[in-house]
Structure 1
Amino acid sequence: MTDRPVLALVAHDAKKDAMVAFVRRNAEKLSVFRLVATGTTGGRILDACPELNLMQLKSGPLGGDQQIGAMIAEGRLDGLFFFADPLSPMPHDVDVKALMRLALVYDIPMALNLSTAEILLRSARLTGLRTTSATPEISVPR
């Protein structure tokens, strides 16, 4: 197991451009993470930012969402950036819901849109990963 936190990047078709733009803008910050991405999204990100440490999985409908879900269940994923398109029909809607359910069950930080992704990327939750624990303790003055 690597000591670098692992983030997953997923984007529906209508959100792929937004994901690529987000990654391009934040390539330096993302370079400290190991990245995994579903098929087409991963290919587009690698085209834009070939210097990133990114493993391309299968396309979402062909099992990529399930591969990411397995990583969550096995404790091998530290965050999920899933730019979902709520206005387009999804033939693999069941897989998408299962992935989101796993992120909720295992308390994985998850960003579903650009605004949340920007906040999550600069949060202490992600920057403190694996330095002490996955859930940093908060000290409260007495």
Structure 2
Amino acid sequence: MSEQRPKRQARRTLPARKRIALVAHDGKKNEMLDWANRWRDELSRHQLVGTGTTARRISKELGLEVEGLMSGPLGGDQQIGARIAEGNLDILIFLWDPFAPMPHDPDVKALLRLAALWNVPVASNAASADFMFNSALMSQAVEVAVPDANDWVSTRA
């Protein structure tokens, strides 16, 4: 069995002005809007990106500038995952509905896997997002460990 793992860690700096992805499943969109409204001032200081309806609603209803991507099931989750892998996303706020069936579950798992691999802070509910946004680290540059993409090795078990 062949397995790939980074041999060593590299570092990257999350800037003071974070690049934040906002994603919410259908049953969590109103919760996302309520949360984003509470944090509107803080969110306005950062660069926002969101999937489909979530991005449109936050932009329209809260007046925040949000770059809209595709809907999650149509490729939006993968677009966000690509930004993570490229080092172009710093925080993921992903309010997912644990009771809703997800036909695009493999995409969601791939997105969360990339966030874990690349050490991207993730909030999966409003409470964890509140804790994250209450942190002094939200407004300052922060260095984090990431896989050294230039140093991947193949091992055999």
Question: TM exceeds 0.5?
Answer: yes
Q: 2:100 aligns with which of 84, 88, 91?
A: 88
The residue that corresponds to 1:124 in the other structure is: 136
Decide which structure has the larger Cα Rg and report it: 2
Deviations 1:33-80 (A, max 9, x none): 000000011111112112x22101000011100010000000010100
Distance in 2 separating the partners of 1:37 and 1:74: 17
How many pairs does the alignment contain? 131
* Equivalent residue number for residue 100 of structure 1: 112
2:69 counterpart letter in structure 1: L
* 1:71 is the counterpart of 2:75: no
Gaps of 5+ in 1: 137-142
Q: Which residue of 2 aligns with 1:16?
A: 29
- Whose RCO is larger (CA < 8 A, sep 6+)? 2
Q: Contact conserved, 1:125 with 1:135, CA < 8 A, in 2?
A: no
TM-score, normalised with respect to structure 2: 0.79
Distance 1:4 1:119 in 2: 18
Residue matched to 2:41: 28
Identity, % of aligned positions: 49
Instruction: Answer whether contact 1:33 1:53 (CA < 8 A) is retained.
Output: no
Distance 1:58 1:134 in 2: 30
Q: Find out whether 1:134 has 2:143 as its counterpart.
A: yes
Structure 2 spans left out of the alignment, 5+ residues: 1-14, 146-157
Any idea what SS the aligned residue of 1:89 has?
coil
Greater share of residues in strand: 2
Matched letter for residue 56 of structure 1: G
1:3: how far off?
7.0
The residue that corresponds to 1:46 in the other structure is 59
- Superposed CA RMSD: 1.6
